[in-house]
Amino acid sequence: MSSQLKEQLEKYYTAHQKLKELKFTYGTAGFRTKANILDSVVFVVGILASLRSKYLDGQTIGIMITASHNPPEDNGIKLIDPQGEMLEQAWEVYATTLANLNTSEEIYDEIIKISTQLNIKLETPSNVVIARDSRVSGPALADATIDGLKVLDTGYKNFDLLTTPQLHYLVRAINTQGTPVSFGEPNEEGYFKKLSTSYKKIFDGVFDGQTPEKVKITIDAANGIGGPKAQHLLSKYLSDYIDFTVVNNNYSDPEALNVGSGADYVKTNQKLPNNVNAEPLKLYSSFDGDADRVVFYYTDAQGVFKLLDGDKISTLLAGFFKDLVEKSNFKAEIGVVQTAYANGSSTNYITDVLKVPVVCTPTGVKHLHHEAAKFDIGVYFEANGHGTVLFSDSFIDNLKTATPSTPHEKRAIDTLYELSQLINQTVGDAISDLLAVLIVLSIKHWDPSNWDESYTDLPNRLAKVVVPDRHVFKTTNAERQLTSPVGLQVKIDEIVKKFQHGRSFV
Ligand code: ZN
């Protein structure tokens, strides 16, 4: 095995050698940097994905090539674990180590080291699925990744263009195929069917065969891959339900990706994206480049731009779930998870008006996801629009086996169950989150201003201050207080004390 491995590695490594001066770190978003220096990195990620799959007895691992909302010349790569979740944190270290090795001998030694340490049998079959967003660098990076997969003889399927959440769906669907907890058909159409079926069931259940007015939405797709995917889903499966327009839908022009458009642009600039002339009180939305986040917005009667960000999505969904749980006569613990960046007004609204507990965690999806998983219904959205809702297994089981005593209860229970299917629990998903929001607004007969009225953001300012060494700033209490440099927190507290509902953090 080992001489054969050495041979294979040398054969493929020649085309993917690392430049010595480069340094890489696997973070929350995987590896992410300029696309033109990623070749050697994606090659070893292919090797690591193979090892991960062998370690997990051949379960399928996902590899997504994307740089999300970042400019067209960037790219990145990240691994997806078998249930559609992020790569186990302990393995991030192996990823970083492998990416910084400079020769095929070093890589060989590291493969042997990891497999010995973790008792991985290299002859165990391994399986990987791979996909990419619409960047021009995507196909070559996918090929380099596949060369990495070949080193350890890994079976793979290249799905080519997908949104990030679609690949998360597929990984879980493949690994649960034919089991009692099957996530859905293990192909792209299965994803569309799953979402649209739940959407229709909720709608038809609530409106009881009547045809309510179609809900209207404009989607700014950031010229990314979310555009054609949303278009396909909405036109093929939901055209009787949703009246939609997709703008900035030119994914075949990779240079246009996230330029003057998309969730990050709209949120950062607090203005409409290119090619949107907003009609007052109509709902608009923006995806990011790989469609794992979404923000909404509208213009009021005076034509003033109003953003409905992740905080607003959280409050909308948490309030709706609270209602449904009450109507279903069920016991369920609902919670909302936020970070220090959430507007204090949203936190007050959730706590005081909705009477739903709020947990604050450090930034980073893994922290939010982990906390949300502790509730029966855990809602988390970062202000930037990335988030989802998690449902506990026991709660879903209760829904499935419930014996409602009135039609009213039955409808609430059915709606809860279908929402748990509609919402992509593996990861934030712009398309799935969009459908969830549209359902809630339709059922409540709300226009965007009704949604927005729930609370008004406290005035806030986010500022970047350049310091000689950012590492001297150490935080505690979910990044809301400083422990170092000593004395600074006291000074902040003194100033903040002068303002009612004031809050400030470094
Ligand atoms: Zn993204």
Which range has the worst mean pLDDT, 1-5, 69-73, 197-201, 315-319?
Answer: 1-5
Higher pLDDT, 289 or 210: 289
Residue 366 to residue 377: CA distance in whole angstroms: 17
Q: Is the pLDDT of residue 236 over 60?
A: yes
Residue 348: which residues within 8 A CB-CB, separation 6 or more? 455, 501
pLDDT at 330: 86
pLDDT at 155: 98
Confidence band of 249 (pLDDT split at 50, 70, 90) = very high
Report CA(430)–ligand 1 centroid distance (Å): 9
Task: State the Cα torsion 372-375-376-377 to the nearest 10°.
Answer: -40
Q: Is the pLDDT of residue 393 over 90?
A: yes
Which range has the worst mean pLDDT, 348-352, 456-460, 490-494?
Answer: 456-460
The rounded Cα 423 to chain-centroid distance in angstroms is: 11
Report CA(433)–ligand 1 centroid distance (Å): 13
User: Facing residues of 156 across strands?
Assistant: 128
pLDDT at 66: 98
Higher pLDDT, 100 or 471: 100
Q: Is the pLDDT of residue 165 over 60?
A: yes
For 430-478, what is each residue's pLDDT tens digit?
999 999 999 999 999 999 999 999 999 998 888 888 899 988 999 999 8
Residue 215 to residue 97: CA distance in whole angstroms: 50
User: Facing residues of 128 across strands?
Assistant: 61, 156
Task: Please answer whether residues 361 and 478 qualify as being in contact, where contact means their C-beta atoms are separated by less than 8 angstroms.
Answer: yes
Q: Is the pLDDT of residue 309 over 90?
A: yes
Q: Is the pLDDT of residue 325 over 90?
A: yes
Residue 249 to residue 77: CA distance in whole angstroms: 23
Angle among Cα 356, 362, 366 to the nearest 5 degrees reads 90
Report CA(343)–ligand 1 centroid distance (Å): 22
Residue 78 DSSP one-character state: E
Residue entry with tokens 């279903």? 328
Q: What is the mean pLDDT of residues 368-388?
A: 95
Residue 253 to residue 289: CA distance in whole angstroms: 12
Q: What is the mean pLDDT of residues 217-244?
A: 97
Task: Please answer whether residues 82 and 172 qualify as being in contact, where contact means their C-beta atoms are separated by less than 8 angstroms.
Answer: yes
The three-state DSSP-derived secondary structure of 28-65 is CCEEEEEHHHCHHHHHHHHHHHHHHHHHCCCCEEEEEE
Higher pLDDT, 296 or 464: 296
What is the maximal distance between C-alpha atoms in the chain?
73
pLDDT at 501: 83
pTM of the predicted protein model:
0.94
User: Facing residues of 158 across strands?
Assistant: 130
Task: Please answer whether residues 12 and 148 qualify as being in contact, where contact means their C-beta atoms are separated by less than 8 angstroms.
Answer: yes
Query: Measuring CA to CA, how many Å separate 194 from each of 14, 61, 164, 209, 380?
Result: 43, 21, 17, 21, 22
Strands 31-34 and 74-80, by their bridges, are antiparallel
Average pLDDT, the chain: 95
Which of these, 13, 88, 25, lies nearest to 55 by C-alpha position?
88
Residue 289 to residue 384: CA distance in whole angstroms: 13
Report CA(55)–ligand 1 centroid distance (Å): 28
User: Facing residues of 284 across strands?
Assistant: 218, 297
For 8-40, what is each residue's pLDDT tens digit?
999 999 999 998 889 999 988 899 999 999 999
Tokens of 330: 């069920």
Strands 60-65 and 127-132, by their bridges, are parallel
The three-state DSSP-derived secondary structure of 361-393 is CCCCHHHHHHHHCCCCEEEEECCCCCEEEEECH
Give the environment of ion ligand 1: residues with CB less than 5 A. Answer: 68, 288, 290, 292
pLDDT at 224: 98
Report CA(6)–ligand 1 centroid distance (Å): 37
Q: Where are the alpha helices (DSSP H) in 118-215?
A: 138-151, 164-175, 188-207
pLDDT at 260: 97
Residue 240 to residue 207: CA distance in whole angstroms: 14
Q: Is the pLDDT of residue 334 over 60?
A: yes
Sheet bearing 60-65, strands edge to edge = 31-34, 74-80, 60-65, 127-132, 155-161
Torsion over CA: 478, 314, 85, 222 (sign)? negative
Residue 382 to residue 308: CA distance in whole angstroms: 12
Report CA(258)–ligand 1 centroid distance (Å): 11
Q: Is the pLDDT of residue 237 over 60?
A: yes
User: Facing residues of 157 across strands?
Assistant: 129
pLDDT at 1: 56
Residue 257 to residue 248: CA distance in whole angstroms: 9
- CB count within 10 Å of CB 125 equals 12
Report CA(69)–ligand 1 centroid distance (Å): 5
Residue 33 to residue 69: CA distance in whole angstroms: 12
pLDDT at 293: 97
pLDDT at 347: 95
Strands 334-338 and 358-360, by their bridges, are parallel
* Catalytic residue positions, numbered: 68
Confidence band of 366 (pLDDT split at 50, 70, 90) = confident
